[in-house]
Structure 1
Amino acid sequence: MQPSKVYFSDLRAKPGLNLLQKLEKLAQIAGISDIDFKNKFVAIKIHFGEPGNLAYLRPNYARVIVELVKTFGGKPFLTDCNTLYVGRRKDALEHLDAAYENGYNPFSTACQLIIADGLKGTDEAYIPVRNGQYVKEAKIGRAIADADIIISLNHFKGHEMTGFGGAIKNLGMGCGSRAGKMEMHSAGKPQVNSKHCVGCAVCTKICAHAAINLTDKKAKIDHLKCVGCGRCIGMCAFDAINPPFDESFDILNAKMAEYTMAVLDNKPHFHLSLVIDVSPYCDCHAENDLPIVPDIGMFASFDPVALDRACADACNQAPVIPGSILSENLQAAKLQTETEFDRFAHTTHGTNWISTLEHAEKIGLGTQKYELIKVK
């Protein structure tokens, strides 16, 4: 396979050319206009940020891409799916409140915000995974599945399970419905926290396999009947039903790549990653730690695999920020900063980001080989 083209712009800004203008220029030179946007619904997948976290991408960046898509005649909307964990984005109402709180709204971004998997995270489409090894049919938020074109606008940063979060994390995990997220995170089936269960019986009514019953006014799941669809998780208003989060990191990474394949397969797509505020953990946290490396720049490509690899390589060539958790971990391991080491593996031990890209390459999602083209 030939190397994919990845375009890069640094973060230097001079009078007459600010960072937003540089982002538009980057997207244009990278070839976004090669896509036929005319009268097409365009899902711009982004992370709105968990309130309290200040490392997420500012809405100003999103507006640049929205306006560009409109110029080409497209119908853009910003989108994300509900979270699996308990937080401020687990249903569409709270999710939109969180987005507005973080500055994302139709006035600041010039387009509508749509929570792709609906009110409770159960509005999903089942999409076959080409070459899927672990997932045969991905559960994707319906609004994303219905879109004609996919654009990912990614905040590239560390992640406590996948090593880093980039294009594949934003698309694979981010586009999965709540049940889809459970499938990626879990090898097992949902469990009931009896302390939180109020015996409302809503879960017994939503279960299509009669796997849930009330015993002593508490829900009980029969794992012999349960198929692990996760719909009960989305329907529980009291967060009493939870996934086990028991999948190995490497299989989680592989499933995430396969979900990305389901999202992008047979659709035009384009990807942008901003390697700024490279926090050690996901923007799903309600806080962000000191970045582990300095701001690097903006990247764009039609290939999400090559894009993630280029961003990871750039981070691994960057100096470590003193006082960061990465710096502390290196000192504890008695490693010198000039020694070659993986920034993400030493930020969160046990993670293995390369397995994501290796599996993505294996199933035909893209290539790790890239040609880096600098845009001035």
Structure 2
Amino acid sequence: MEKSKVYFTDMHATLTENLLQKLKRLIKSAGIGQIDFDRKYAAIKIHFGEPGNLAFLRPNYAKVVADVVRELGGKPFLTDCNTLYVGGRKNALDHLDSAYGNGFSPFSTGCHVLIADGLKGTDEALVPVRGGEYVTEAKIGRAIMDADVFISLTHFKVHESTGIGGTLKNIGMGCGSRAGKMEMHSSGKPHVNQESCVGCGSCKKNCAHGAISIENRKASINHDLCVGCGRCIGACPTDAVLPASDESNDILNKKIAEYSYAVLHDRPQFHISLVVDVSPFCDCHAENDIPIVPNVGMFASFDPVALDLACTQAVNSQPVIPGSLLEKRGNSHHDHFKDIHPTTDWNVMIDHAVKMGLGSRDYELVKI
């Protein structure tokens, strides 16, 4: 069986080619022109960034992709779904405000922005997942399923629940409606280490479901109300909120792979991932730390599994940036992602995606 091809270029520019021109050359070399875009609606799935976060991809990159789709005769739009947690993207109006505030407007990107699951996150398509171990019917933002072509444009980073925040995470979790996100998160629920808790209330402020209370300057989580979204884990400044000590992160990774199957199965697709500003937490966090490794480059492929694996291995081959959270956490696992978030195992998502037929671990890196 032929290896999947993952195309790569570094972040060096020249007097005759800037980074945006380089990205255009990359995706054309990777074969985006093989897709029939003629008068087709093309969803470009991207993370618009939580207000306050500065690690998200610049909208200039999105414009390059949208312009190429237009050149090929397509009708591009940028899209994402509403979030489960409270913040700047929990409904379509706030989400659009956040997107525009971070520079993703029709005037800067050359295409419109659509929130795929509608005003309140309830506009969803129910998509069968054949062979799913945990999901039989995924709840996907309707505009994403209405599109003729699907393109992912991903900021590759570390993720506190899944290990890597790559292409599969961008697709599976990102394309789920609010109910879909709740389904993916519902396998495990966090708890509070009372000795470490200082009662600051950050976890309570970030809980959309009223599951957290503060008594005697200590937080506690009501598991009858908690949906297991994990937002409180990243919000806690003292690391007092801990994930359930079971396989909940593994189940989350598998559900994300199954949701990715729902989005990608039997439709034209193309995937782009930029390994820049590799932050230790997701772009969903209003706060973002300094990158853990130097910028690596830009990757593109028709295979989302091979793309995620190539990006992961590229990050793991990089030196640690002094002063970063990765340096603070150490390198005991010889895996940058697991060193930062020891309870995660990104291999679970990769392996389950292979099992679902989404791609291959066997790839060839083509440098341009």
Whether the TM-score (by the shorter chain) exceeds 0.5 is yes
Gaps of 5+ in 2: 190-206, 214-223, 230-243
1:170 alignment partner, SS class: helix
Query: Structure 1 residues 152 and 191 mapped into 2: Cα distance closer, same or farther (>3 Å)?
Result: closer
Q: Which residue of 2 is the match for residue 218 of structure 1? A: none
**1:203-251 deviations in whole A, cap 9, x for unaligned?**
xxxxxxxxxxxxxxxxxxxx9xxxxxxxxxxxxxxxxx75234770001
CA contact (8 A) 1:51 1:98 kept: yes
CA contact (8 A) 1:63 1:108 kept: yes
CA distance in 2, matches of 1:194, 1:187: 16
Cα offset, 1:187, TM superposition: 2.9
Q: Which structure 2 residues correspond to residues 86-97 of structure 1 after superposition, within 5 A?
A: 86-97=86-97
Cα offset, 1:130, TM superposition: 2.4
Q: Which residue of 2 is the match for residue 27 of structure 1? A: 27
Which residue of the other structure, out of 332, 348, 353, is the alignment partner of 1:355? Answer: 348
2:287 alignment partner, SS class: coil
Q: Is 1:368 aligned with 2:361? A: yes
**1:268-297 deviations in whole A, cap 9, x for unaligned?**
000000000000000000011011110000
Q: Is 1:114 aligned with 2:114? A: yes
CA distance in 1, matches of 2:7, 2:42: 22
Q: Which residue of 2 is the match for residue 344 of structure 1? A: 337
Q: TM-score, normalised by structure 2?
A: 0.85
Q: Which residue of 1 is the match for residue 258 of structure 2? A: 258
Larger radius of gyration: 1
CA distance in 1, matches of 2:91, 2:227: 16
Q: Which structure 2 residues correspond to residues 166-245 of structure 1 after superposition, within 5 A?
A: 166-187=166-187, 193=210, 243-245=227-229
Q: Which structure 2 residues correspond to residues 1-376 of structure 1 after superposition, within 5 A?
A: 1-187=1-187, 193=210, 243-245=227-229, 248-330=248-330, 335=332, 341-375=334-368
CA contact (8 A) 1:191 1:244 kept: no
CA distance in 1, matches of 2:209, 2:35: 46
CA distance in 2, matches of 1:191, 1:288: 21
Counterpart residue type for residue 93 of structure 2: L
CA distance in 1, matches of 2:211, 2:163: 33
CA distance in 1, matches of 2:167, 2:53: 20
Counterpart residue type for residue 8 of structure 2: F
2:180 alignment partner, SS class: helix
1:175 alignment partner, SS class: coil
Q: TM-score, normalised by structure 1?
A: 0.83
Moved more, 127-136 or 180-189: 180-189
**1:104-131 deviations in whole A, cap 9, x for unaligned?**
1000000000000000000000000122
Counterpart residue type for residue 20 of structure 2: L
CA distance in 1, matches of 2:19, 2:259: 32
Tell me how large the CA RMSD over aligned residues is: 1.9
Identity of counterpart residues, as a percentage? Answer: 63
